[in-house]
Amino acid sequence: MPRIRAASVAEHRSMQRAALLDAARSLLSEGGTEALTFPALAERTGLARSSVYEYFRSRAAVVEELCAVDFPVWAAEVEAAMALADGAEAKLEAYVRKQLELVGDRRHRAVVAISASELDAGAREKIRAAHGGLIAMIVEALGDLGHDQPRLAAMLLQGVVDAAVRRIELGAAEHPDTITEAAVSMALRGVRG
């Protein structure tokens, strides 16, 4: 009987942690980092504020957990889109398009909000490492296109994607499809040059 109870306690804690992360995603996507507070997390999940501290010691810990959970999912989606593409240019286009397609995803909005905030060094390092994983995906394709410095080209390409993401997130005058097409065009012309 004690084993069953221990399993149910662990399962309950896991569900509570997932609920807190889901609430954090919602808060970040709705109101940015200012909205991510422990009282707001407690209210969204029905937990006492002190219970939130049992799961996370700080906002930065929530952010680190979101990065650890959400970035790999995103990266897998980008990688899957690239795997379906035939040839280096098509992979590059898929890389840009898929990231911009994911802008509307709540996980993406949360991570964008996180990236713009004041974070401790540990959280910033997790974000940098996750972005590094994205960049690594496109280095080989850029090498196949003949770039002498494919890693540098990949970082610059990601800069174009990041700028397009910010433009879409800001609700720019241009339609998101227009921004996407401009980013893809700029990326493809840039890698050919």
Instruction: Return the ∠ at Cα 147 (arms to 146 and 150), rounded to 5°.
Output: 130
Phi and psi at 148, nearest 5°, equal -70, -35
Four-residue CA torsion sign, 56, 102, 169, 126: positive
* Regions of the chain with pLDDT less than 50: 1
Residue for token pair 């509307």 = 104
Q: Which residue has the tokens 């991510």?
A: 36
CB 128 within 8 A of CB 47: no
For the chain, the structural domain boundaries read 1-56, 64-191
Inter-residue contact 24 to 62 (CB < 8 Å): yes
Determine the CATH number of domain 64-191: 1.10.357.10
Residue 4 confidence (pLDDT): 53
Whose CA is closest to 95, among 110, 109, 74?
74
pLDDT digits (tens, 9 = 90+) for 102-125: 887 766 666 666 665 556 676 667
Token digits for 25?
């995603």
CATH class of 1-56: mainly alpha
Question: What is the pTM (predicted TM-score) of this model?
Answer: 0.75
Residue 73 pLDDT: 84
pLDDT for residue 82: 95
